[in-house]
Amino acid sequence: MLEASDSHPDIHWPSGFSPDQAHSFCQAQAVVHAPPAAAFALLADVTRWPDWVPGITGAWAGPLPRTFEVVFHGQRFEIFVGEHEPSRRLGWSGVGENVQLYQAWLFTAVAGGTHVVTENVVRGPAAKSLDALSPVWARRLNTLWVAQLKRLSESAPDQGDA
């Protein structure tokens, strides 16, 4: 189980959303064999999320506005972008019924591609219930999300341009 001390040192947590203040904290990472711009562009295209993000069945917004909405496992979330540094970092807060979250993404150029790290914290009664039922649910979801990002970024036709 991850501890707050396992958080990546370059993640910027907003007030009230650090791992030690959460009911659930998880991290996933991978090396994507594509440039940071390719992986970041895929993640920033919110309207395409239902096509590839596990559990997302609806998304309403243009490419990475400051706010957008998603439907995740049947629950509507209003999302507020807190950090947006193209090709480097992205972070957002989400509010749904009985749950609040913050998810951060880091994109770092490495030999052969991009090291992608995502971490998220979840608070609220829904997070407590899910964590009690299955302590690994959030980690599995983040791992799937990063795996999909890796697969699609590496197969993008223009992935070598950036």
In DSSP terms, which residues pair with 75 in a beta bridge? 72
Exposure on the CB side of residue 101, measured as CA atoms within 13 A: 25
Q: Of residues 115 and 1, which shows the higher confidence score? A: 115
Question: Exposed (0-12), middle (13-18) or buried (19+): which is 43, by Cβ within 10 Å?
Answer: buried
pTM assigned to the model: 0.84
Q: Is the pLDDT of residue 86 over 70?
A: yes
Q: What is the pLDDT of residue 48?
A: 92
- Helix axes of 36-44 and 137-155: crossing angle, nearest 10 degrees: 120
Q: Is the pLDDT of residue 162 over 80?
A: no
Predicted confidence at residue 6, as pLDDT, reads 74
For 93-146, how does the pLDDT look when each residue is reduced to its tens digit (9 = 90+)? Answer: 999 988 899 999 999 999 999 999 999 888 887 665 555 445 565 667 778 888
Tokens for 134?
């299955």
pLDDT at residue number 13: 92
- Backbone φ, ψ for residue 30 (5° rounding): -165, 160
Which two tokens mark 35?
């440039």
pLDDT > 90: percent of the chain: 50
Residue corresponding to tokens 């559990």:
55
What pLDDT does 159 receive?
52
